[in-house]
Structure formats: C-alpha cells, structure tokens
Amino acid sequence: MADLKAMPATAGYGGWKNQLGNITGPISWTGVTLRALMRLVGGGSSVTVVASDGYSENLSANDVAGAVTTYDPVTGEVITGIDIIAIVAYAKGGGTLSSGEGPLRLAFVSSAQNQVTDSAMWVKKVVELRIH
C-alpha cells in the first residue's frame, strides 16, 4: 500500500448504476491510474482485475482508456462527452475504503460529479491485475 500511495495520485468523482437501475454516487475517489500500473509492468492494452473472493472482470483496451458507458446520476439515462479515468482506488470520500470494499477497488472517475458507470466494472477487494 505504501508503494501505491507513493505514486502520483488521481482523484475524481464516480459511482455506479447496477442491473436494477439503482444508482450509487457519485462519490470522491483517490487512487492510481490503471494505465500507470500497467506501464510499471511493461504495458499491455487490456487487463483482468481479480478480487479476493475470486470475482474477476476483463477490461478491454477501450475500458482501460475510459471509453465506457456513462449515465446521468439523477435520471440514469445514458450520457456522452464525459472524460473517464480508470483508477485503482485506495480512498473514498477522503477516508480509507471500508473492509467490505477494499483495501483496493477499481473505480471509474471524472473531474466533476456528473456521471456514474456500470456497476459490474467496479471490482471491490482487488488483489491482482493480470495485464494482457
């Protein structure tokens, strides 16, 4: 964790819309960009994010680049034109992540509180990144 926190931090706002249409956030998140972590191990364009409970999510090059579906946090309708950054977050709302979420979580953030993304991509309890 100390090594991760020693890297340049990225902060932004993000939240998610689940399959039932329920929206959580946006909330402030802080972490290290997924791209920066991928560069540390020689690059790659896609990644599999693995959680401590065995759940995994495959992210394409477009997902890693932030080209993901965004939704209005009030209406839940699809919106466009939002710059998204994928981060491995270690802080939420100015504090550490709860034991149910962290210590690390994949998050998709922007500079303003103007979007949420699909919940399936928000992997909690991240323990491994498999770069492809």
DSSP state of 110: B
- The CATH number of whichever domain residue 116 belongs to comes to 3.90.420.10
Residue appearing with tokens 């946090």: 73
**Model pLDDT for residues 47-83, shown as the tens digit of each residue:** 999 999 999 999 999 999 999 999 999 999 999 999 9
Give the chain's domain count.
1
Question: Domain containing 72: what range?
Answer: 2-131
Identify which of 87, 79, 88, 72 has the alpha carbon closest to the alpha carbon of residue 23: 72
**Model pLDDT for residues 2-14, shown as the tens digit of each residue:** 999 999 999 999 9
Residues 125 and 101 sit within 8 Å (Cβ to Cβ): yes
